[in-house]
């Protein structure tokens, strides 16, 4: 705690989109309560602190660091180690830090194909000299170094020791507040717990009418206007709710969109993608091998669909390319 | 010069049909390669796709899933229906992860087909031997060196 009795808080972003930062601001008027309770000592996206300010802190100086974003570059990893050292409690905040999330889908490719695509092949890129960023570039004045772009996206927990995990892309503000309250009251669960979420699945929170799951056909989102009352999976739309941890309040199904799985696997499930594949395929209404193969063949991109948020944290972590 | 590659193969088989076939193959003194490690489960419908992924991640070079013939052989009447609904997707998933489809075999062997089991273990072992080791997690694609374009 700071001398004024406030919680010393740090917030950082690595490979992420910024949505987790917006989710913090979405605490709305409660952010004033956060400011009353906590002294923010590092938050690059919102406040003017520098990395050297963190480096100057004694080890364990921060009471809590909310770290969002995956580990994509050597700089991300460096900051993960630095903030681990400077924080008593390190929280993997949001899906990227927890399980890799959308940046983690890059693990279906390798570094070279990603760089080639982004800097040479994308139609809107103008790069006639074919310049690709290099870790070290000689210039007349000396050498310029930029962080190394890793071949594999990792989760925060795969590069350093993490105390708690907050799922969600982004975490829902009411859940963030619940976590803040838990921290302030000192009533935290055992180390390694997933906090700011529920112990059941999204289906448990979903108000839609469930009858029987017997799928003759899969639809992509643009191919169907779903009935707003009935279970989306029963209508042939792949909804990840049944293999996803609850806590969001079934936000997406409530607005007629299928759950995409951003809260990660439910308790006791290691591999969310495999669990979702298993559940979705088993309710296909086919009594012959040929029919089953035809119906599941309609799922266009199984790996990308089932592992949309969890590829780096999955059993296989990445594809072999 | 180099020693012959001995593949490590994990076979998830159901208690009622394929395990019985494997057992009969042993009792019948049928020759089988020692490369296949059998994991007996009650039903092929119990085999979660995660089991298969984990086998590959932990060092298997090939995986077999085998149960009772559909439609009528399943001890639980339609557990194997779940198997044939899931496994075509698992095949495609593995391909997207860069695991060759030849490394994964799924199908049906009844308790009376001990010869078929013995043949499968031979053929599959030789197929994987020809493919070479999978070495999941140890390939070049996992290296973090400075090999920029």
pLDDT in tens, A205-222: 999 999 989 999 999 989
Cβ neighbours of B76 in A, within 8 Å = none
Q: Flag whether A314 is in a domain.
A: no
pLDDT at B86 > cutoff 50 = yes
A84–B contact, CB cutoff 8 A? no
Predicted local confidence at residue B130, as pLDDT: 96
CATH of the domain at A157: 3.40.50.700
pLDDT at B149 > cutoff 60 = no
Q: Which of A197, A230, A255 is the last residue of a domain?
A: A197
Q: In a mutagenesis test of the A interface, which of B68, B108, B141, B143 is the best target, namely the one with the most A β-carbons within 10 Å?
A: B141
- A154 and A56 in a single domain? The answer is yes
- Check B49 against A278: CB less than 8 A apart: yes
- Check B141 against A320: CB less than 8 A apart: yes
Q: Flag whether B117 is in a domain.
A: yes
pLDDT digits (tens, 9 = 90+) for A155-180: 999 999 999 999 999 999 999 998 88
Residue of chain A minimizing CA distance to B77: A287
Of A133, A151, A277, nearest to B89 by CB-CB distance is: A277
Q: Which of A197, A217, A233 is the last residue of a domain?
A: A197
- A162 and A213 in a single domain? The answer is no
Q: Flag whether A318 is in a domain.
A: no
- Check B86 against A314: CB less than 8 A apart: no
Q: Flag whether B10 is in a domain.
A: no
- Check B88 against A151: CB less than 8 A apart: no
Give B140→chain A minimum CA distance, Å.
Answer: 9
pLDDT band at B1 (very low <50, low <70, confident <90, very high): low
C-alpha angle A264-A267-A273 in degrees, rounded to nearest 5:
40
Of B70, B81, B89, nearest to A296 by CB-CB distance is: B89
Q: Flag whether B140 is in a domain.
A: no
Of A148, A282, A317, nearest to B85 by CB-CB distance is: A282
A235–B contact, CB cutoff 8 A? no
**What ipTM is given for this predicted complex?**
0.92
How many domains, in total, are found in chain B? 1
- A130 and A26 in a single domain? The answer is yes
Q: Flag whether A27 is in a domain.
A: yes
Give B41→chain A minimum CA distance, Å.
Answer: 16
- A143 and A189 in a single domain? The answer is yes
Q: Report how far Cα A292 is from the mean position of its chain's Cα atoms.
A: 32
| Local structure of B48: helix, strand or coil | coil
In sequence order, the β-bridge partners of residue B41 are B14
Q: Which of A155, A179, A197 is the last residue of a domain?
A: A197
- A175 and A209 in a single domain? The answer is no
What residues make up the domain containing A235? 202-306
Q: Flag whether B1 is in a domain.
A: no
CA distances in angstroms from A71 to A15, A44, A106, A306, B108, listed in the order given: 6, 17, 12, 21, 43
Express the helix, strand and coil content of chain B in percent, nearest 5 each.
45, 15, 40
Q: Flag whether B23 is in a domain.
A: yes
C-alpha angle B22-B28-B31 in degrees, rounded to nearest 5:
75
Of B50, B54, B85, nearest to A281 by CB-CB distance is: B85
- A275 and A298 in a single domain? The answer is yes
Q: Flag whether B88 is in a domain.
A: yes
- A136 and A278 in a single domain? The answer is no
Overall average pLDDT of the A186-209 stretch: 94
Predicted local confidence at residue A298, as pLDDT: 93
pLDDT digits (tens, 9 = 90+) for A270-303: 999 999 999 999 999 999 999 999 999 999 999 9
Question: Each residue of A146-181: b (16+ CB within 10 Å) or e?
Answer: eebbbbbbbbbbbbbebbbbbbbbbbbbebbbbbbe
Cβ neighbours of A281 in B, within 8 Å = 82, 85-86, 89
pLDDT band at B146 (very low <50, low <70, confident <90, very high): very low
| Local structure of A233: helix, strand or coil | helix
pLDDT band at A188 (very low <50, low <70, confident <90, very high): confident
How many domains, in total, are found in chain A? 2
- Check B141 against A318: CB less than 8 A apart: yes
Q: What torsion do the CA atoms of B104, B95, A278, A293 make, to the nearest 10 degrees?
A: -80
Cβ neighbours of B88 in A, within 8 Å = 292-293, 296-297
Residues 257-296, chain A, touching B (beta carbon < 8 A): 270-271, 273-275, 277-278, 281-282, 284, 286-289, 292-293, 296
Q: Flag whether B103 is in a domain.
A: yes
Q: Flag whether A235 is in a domain.
A: yes
User: Which structure tokens are listed for A3?
Assistant: 């001398």
- A74 and A142 in a single domain? The answer is yes
What residues make up the domain containing B48? 15-135
- Check B92 against A110: CB less than 8 A apart: no
- Listed range (A46-50, A100-104, A162-166, A183-187) with the worst mean pLDDT: A183-187
Predicted local confidence at residue A221, as pLDDT: 87
A152–B contact, CB cutoff 8 A? yes
Give B51→chain A minimum CA distance, Å.
Answer: 9
- A190 and A227 in a single domain? The answer is no
- Check B143 against A151: CB less than 8 A apart: yes
Neighbours of B93 (CB within 10 A): 25
d(CA A80, CA A13): 10
Q: Flag whether A267 is in a domain.
A: yes
Give A222→chain B minimum CA distance, Å.
Answer: 22
Are A306 and A295 contacting, i.e. CB atoms less than 8 angstroms apart? no
A218–B contact, CB cutoff 8 A? no
Q: Flag whether A312 is in a domain.
A: no
Are A134 and A142 contacting, i.e. CB atoms less than 8 angstroms apart? no
- Check A315 against B90: CB less than 8 A apart: no
């Amino acid at each position: 705690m700071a001398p004024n009795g406030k919680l010393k808080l740090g917030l950082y972003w690595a490979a992420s989109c910024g949505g987790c930062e917006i989710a913090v601001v979405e605490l709305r008027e409660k952010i004033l309560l956060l400011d009353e309770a906590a002294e923010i000592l590092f938050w690059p996206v919102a406040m003017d602190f520098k990395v050297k300010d963190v480096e100057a802190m004694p080890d364990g100086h921060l009471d809590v660091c909310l770290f969002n974003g995956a580990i994509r570059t050597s700089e991300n990893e460096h900051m993960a180690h630095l903030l681990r050292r400077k924080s008593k409690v390190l929280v993997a905040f949001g899906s990227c830090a927890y399980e890799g999330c959308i940046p983690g889908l890059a693990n279906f490719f390798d570094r070279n194909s990603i760089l080639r695509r982004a800097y040479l092949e994308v139609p809107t890129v103008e790069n006639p000299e074919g310049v690709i960023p290099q870790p070290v570039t000689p210039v007349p004045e000396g050498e310029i170094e930029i962080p190394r772009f890793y071949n594999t996206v990792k989760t925060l927990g795969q590069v350093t020791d993490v105390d708690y995990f907050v799922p969600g892309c982004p975490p829902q503000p009411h859940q963030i507040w619940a976590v803040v309250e838990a921290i302030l009251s000192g009533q935290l669960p055992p180390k390694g717990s997933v906090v700011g979420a529920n112990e059941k699945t999204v289906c448990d929170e979903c108000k839609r009418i469930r009858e029987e799951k017997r799928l003759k056909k899969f639809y992509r989102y643009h191919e169907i206007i779903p009935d707003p009352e009935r279970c989306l999976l029963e209508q042939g739309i792949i909804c990840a709710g049944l293999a996803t941890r609850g806590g969001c309040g079934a936000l997406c199904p409530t607005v007629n969109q299928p759950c995409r799985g951003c809260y990660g696997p439910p308790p006791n499930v290691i591999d969310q993608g495999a669990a979702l594949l298993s559940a979705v395929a088993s309710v296909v209404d086919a009594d012959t091998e040929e029919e089953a193969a035809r119906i599941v063949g309609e799922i266009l991109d199984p790996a990308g669909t089932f592992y949309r948020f969890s590829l780096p944290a999955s059993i296989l972590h990445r594809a072999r390319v | 010069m180099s020693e012959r590659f001995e593949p490590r193969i994990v076979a998830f088989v159901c208690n009622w049909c394929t395990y019985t076939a494997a057992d009969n193959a042993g009792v019948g003194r049928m020759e089988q390669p020692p490369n296949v490690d059998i994991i007996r489960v009650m039903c092929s419908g119990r085999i979660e796709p995660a089991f298969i992924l984990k086998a590959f991640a932990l060092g298997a070079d090939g995986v077999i899933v085998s149960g009772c013939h559909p439609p009528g052989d399943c001890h639980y009447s339609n557990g194997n229906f779940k198997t044939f609904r899931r496994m075509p997707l698992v095949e495609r998933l593995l391909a997207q992860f860069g695991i060759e489809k030849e490394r994964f075999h799924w199908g049906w062997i009844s308790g009376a087909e001990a010869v078929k089991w013995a043949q499968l273990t031979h053929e599959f072992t030789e197929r994987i031997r020809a493919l070479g080791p999978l070495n999941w997690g140890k390939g070049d694609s996992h290296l973090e060196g400075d090999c920029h374009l």
